[in-house]
């Protein structure tokens, strides 16, 4: 049995059942398990499943992961001290934009193992960066309230407190 | 005014365009948790990125529950006022959450000796943590101080007061499951050394440790051992303990299931070997032994009975390679151990290419053998002397032809290829598979004959990014996996 997945741009990807089984949303659609979530239920093997929020390039990358894990279980445990296999780390890479797109898609498609790997990828890229560096990397604006700024001034000024406690 | 509006609008557009802002709180928290696990002090950085990240991180006390004082946290939060940020950190953990505490003074030599650490600093820090002792889930304390550290005159009255406070706090450790204590250099001369902390544990009334790691610490048999499942005992090269000190430690935690052992243990001339035999130590639950080989360790273990031992790992610390002569001698000595023929798994880390098959063969019940070895080229694996002991029958002393390690089901070779993969190695990869299959054909065939009592052997060859599974032809498809 094979299933056709249709990306946001309309590109079609024919995947085998073990590969499709890695994608929670597709699994639910193909076997009609989740009517209440509002997904279309495929009754015909040839029927395509549209994944409207996933672009072709991200879908093809995700299918590489699904293909790799079609016969084995990925890490899904909540303990983040675990070591990911080298293949996983090479797969996720260090391109923050790419990792974020994979993360969003993994969340949308219900792929817990890939979601966890993408979280690990982001954490690794953030490792060793200061807050300003993180903001620059992710395009975040430091939008603290006055109260938060006062609190952080205290944190940063502990050494001054030590010298002049009054 | 219009300029301000433009800036705000730009800000909003920027926020909407950034995919990090579309992530829901659960996913962000998961990212924060991994950041925290990689380096606990990074949660402080996370809390200073933007208002959303700050609110999220401060609202979730679990993100702060790994309180760590080490070089990196001092670099980020500062040495001066260190007591203040430590109090703030502990405050952010809430009042009931279990805590993982790490104190590590390694690599702090960039600080001036008059700045850090003083006896008072260490006393204040240990006491600040001790006040939360009822919440400790794990406690790790590494005190590594340069030999020329000068604590100055000890203020005995204050030390005594702090000590009393500490003792009162550690009476109840209901959540503590894991503890690691290490001291080296001038560490032991400190009033609040890991040895002192360990010694004061005898005041604890409800100690339920399952994992204990001691490095350069003398074991005190008065301390309630509870049911320590994993015990690690290490002595660094600049220290040396007498053999009876090691044996006392093993005796104190004799219910352990897993033991890691390494270091230098000298034979005390005053120690009477006759007494040694009469008080032989029995580690009745020990299933796994991980040992850094040395003659002294082998000597010490010769008087320890391990009737349930199933897995032996011979390697350096952190699975580093060791001198082959040490490993071979250790295996040879260990093979005389009364229960060594029952060993089912052997893991061996070698630094050179020669595999000591004659010594390994003594462990006749082995089902799994894992060897980590650096090689220059895969062709080494098909050189007869490398694995031929397994693929050819050998004549025993009684004249009978037998297979070596007849119960062996899994041979795992962790190979570290010099220079990584290149095209030439890729070409030989397939040839290796074919060659090994050809060599092991007879052994596999014998495994299906009733008169031969041997198991079917599977071989895994693992390198940094490749794995090859050599399996009996016709019974299971073999395949390789790779990162392309």
Bond prior to B117 in cis (omega within 30° of 0): yes
Is B16 an 8 Å CB contact of chain A?
no
Write the ipTM: 0.86
Span B96-115, pLDDT tens digits: 999 999 999 876 655 554 45
Query: Do residue A155 and residue A85 come from a single domain?
Result: no
Nearest CA in chain A to B32: A123
Q: How confident is the model at residue A81 (pLDDT cuts 50, 70, 90)?
A: low
Query: Do residue A23 and residue A77 come from a single domain?
Result: yes
Query: Do residue A19 and residue A98 come from a single domain?
Result: yes
The confidence score (pLDDT) of residue B224 equals 75
The count of domains in chain A is: 2
Query: Do residue A34 and residue A99 come from a single domain?
Result: yes
Query: Do residue A109 and residue A30 come from a single domain?
Result: yes
Query: Do residue A147 and residue A117 come from a single domain?
Result: no
The confidence score (pLDDT) of residue B52 equals 94
Query: Do residue A73 and residue A151 come from a single domain?
Result: no
Min Cα separation A41/chain B (Å): 27
Q: How confident is the model at residue B76 (pLDDT cuts 50, 70, 90)?
A: confident
In chain A, what residues touch B50 (CB-CB under 8 Å)? 135, 140-144
Residue among B198, B196, B217 nearest B207 (CA): B198
Q: Which two tokens stand for residue A113?
A: 């193992």
Q: Give the structural domain span for A153.
A: 131-163
Query: Do residue A6 and residue A20 come from a single domain?
Result: yes
Phi/psi of residue B103, nearest 5 degrees? -120, 125
Is B22 an 8 Å CB contact of chain A?
yes
Give dist(CA B144, CA B184) in Å, integer.
Answer: 5
Give dist(CA B280, CA B254) in Å, integer.
Answer: 12
For residue A166, is pLDDT > 60? no
CATH of the domain at A77: 3.30.710.10
Query: Do residue A19 and residue A48 come from a single domain?
Result: yes
Is B483 an 8 Å CB contact of chain A?
yes
Residue among B305, B307, B248 nearest B277 (CA): B305
The 10 Å CB-count burial string (b at 16+, else e) for B251-288 is: bbbbebbbbbbbbebeeeeeeeeeebeeeebebeebbb
Matching residue, tokens 């433009």: B6
Q: How confident is the model at residue B270 (pLDDT cuts 50, 70, 90)?
A: low
For residue B447, is pLDDT > 80? yes
Span B333-384, pLDDT tens digits: 888 888 888 899 999 988 777 788 888 988 989 999 999 887 766 677 777 6
**Smallest Cβ distance to A120: which of B20, B34, B85?**
B34
Query: Do residue A91 and residue A75 come from a single domain?
Result: yes
Q: Are B357 and B321 in contact (CB under 8 A)?
A: no
Q: Which two tokens stand for residue B70?
A: 């080490």
In chain B, what residues touch A74 (CB-CB under 8 Å)? none
Query: Do residue A77 and residue A60 come from a single domain?
Result: yes
A→B contacts (Cβ < 8 Å), by residue, are 80-81, 86-87, 90-91, 97, 100-101, 103-104, 107, 115-116, 119-120, 122-124, 126-131, 134-135, 138-145, 148, 152, 155, 157-163
Query: Do residue A136 and residue A74 come from a single domain?
Result: no
Is the pTM for the entire model greater than 0.90?
no
Q: Which two tokens stand for residue B432?
A: 């290796």
């Amino acid at each position: 049995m094979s299933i056709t997945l249709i990306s946001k741009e309309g590109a079609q990807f024919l995947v085998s059942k073990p590969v499709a089984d890695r994608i929670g949303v597709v699994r639910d659609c193909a076997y009609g398990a989740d009517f209440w979530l509002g997904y279309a239920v495929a009754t015909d093997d040839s029927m395509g499943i549209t994944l409207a929020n996933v672009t072709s390039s991200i879908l093809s990358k995700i299918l590489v992961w699904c293909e790799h894990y079609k016969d084995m279980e990925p890490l899904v445990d909540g303990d983040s001290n675990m070591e990911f296999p080298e293949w996983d780390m090479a797969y996720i890479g260090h391109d923050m934009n790419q990792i974020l797109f994979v993360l969003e898609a993994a969340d949308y498609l219900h792929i817990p193992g890939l979601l966890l790997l993408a979280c690990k990828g982001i954490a690794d890229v953030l490792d060793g960066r200061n807050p300003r560096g993180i903001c620059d990397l992710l395009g975040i604006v430091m939008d603290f309230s006055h109260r938060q700024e006062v609190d952080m001034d205290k944190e940063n000024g502990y050494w001054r407190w030590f010298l002049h406690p009054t | 005014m219009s300029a301000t509006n433009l800036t705000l609008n730009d800000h909003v557009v920027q926020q909407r365009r950034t995919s990090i802002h579309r992530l829901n709180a659960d996913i962000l928290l998961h990212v924060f948790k991994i950041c925290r696990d990689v380096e606990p002090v990074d949660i402080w950085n996370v809390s200073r990125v933007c208002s959303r990240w700050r609110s999220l991180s401060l609202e979730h006390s679990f993100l702060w529950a790994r309180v760590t004082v080490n070089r990196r946290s001092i670099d980020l939060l500062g040495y001066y006022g260190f007591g203040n940020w430590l109090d703030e950190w502990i405050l952010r953990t809430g009042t009931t959450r279990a805590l993982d505490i790490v104190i590590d003074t390694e690599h702090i030599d960039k600080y001036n000796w008059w700045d850090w650490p003083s006896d008072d600093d260490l006393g204040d820090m240990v006491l600040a943590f001790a006040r939360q002792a009822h919440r400790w889930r794990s406690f790790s304390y590494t005190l590594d101080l340069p030999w020329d550290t000068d604590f100055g005159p000890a203020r005995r009255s204050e030390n005594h007061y702090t000590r009393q406070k500490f003792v009162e706090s550690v009476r109840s450790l209901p959540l503590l499951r894991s503890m690691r204590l290490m001291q080296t250099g001038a560490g032991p001369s400190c009033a609040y050394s890991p040895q002192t902390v360990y010694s004061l544990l005898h005041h604890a009334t409800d100690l339920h440790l399952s994992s204990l790691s001691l490095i350069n610490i003398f074991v005190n048999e008065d301390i309630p051992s509870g049911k320590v499942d994993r015990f690690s005992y290490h002595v660094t090269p600049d220290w040396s303990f007498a053999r009876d000190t090691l044996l006392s430690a093993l005796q104190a935690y004799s219910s352990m299931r897993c033991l890691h052992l390494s270091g230098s243990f000298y034979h005390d001339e005053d120690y009477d070997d006759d007494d040694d035999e009469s008080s032989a130590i029995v580690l009745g639950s020990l299933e796994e032994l991980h040992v850094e080989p040395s003659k002294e360790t082998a000597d010490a273990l010769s008087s320890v009975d391990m009737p349930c031992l199933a897995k032996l790992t011979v390697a350096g610390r952190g699975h580093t390679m060791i001198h082959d002569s040490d490993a071979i001698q250790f295996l040879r000595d260990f093979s005389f151990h009364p229960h060594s023929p029952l060993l089912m798994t052997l893991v061996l880390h070698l630094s050179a290419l020669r595999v000591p098959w004659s010594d390994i063969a003594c462990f006749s019940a082995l089902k799994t053998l894992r060897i980590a070895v650096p090689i220059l080229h895969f062709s080494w694996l098909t050189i007869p002397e490398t694995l031929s002991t397994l693929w050819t029958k050998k004549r025993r002393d009684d004249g009978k032809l037998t297979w070596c390690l007849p119960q062996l089901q899994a041979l795992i070779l962790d190979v570290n290829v010099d220079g990584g993969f290149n095209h030439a190695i890729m070409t030989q990869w397939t040839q290796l598979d074919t060659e090994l299959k050809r060599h092991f054909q007879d052994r596999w065939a014998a495994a299906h004959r009733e008169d031969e009592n041997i198991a079917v052997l599977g071989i895994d060859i693992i390198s940094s990014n490749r794995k090859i599974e050599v399996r009996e032809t016709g019974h299971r498809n073999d395949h390789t996996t790779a990162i392309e």
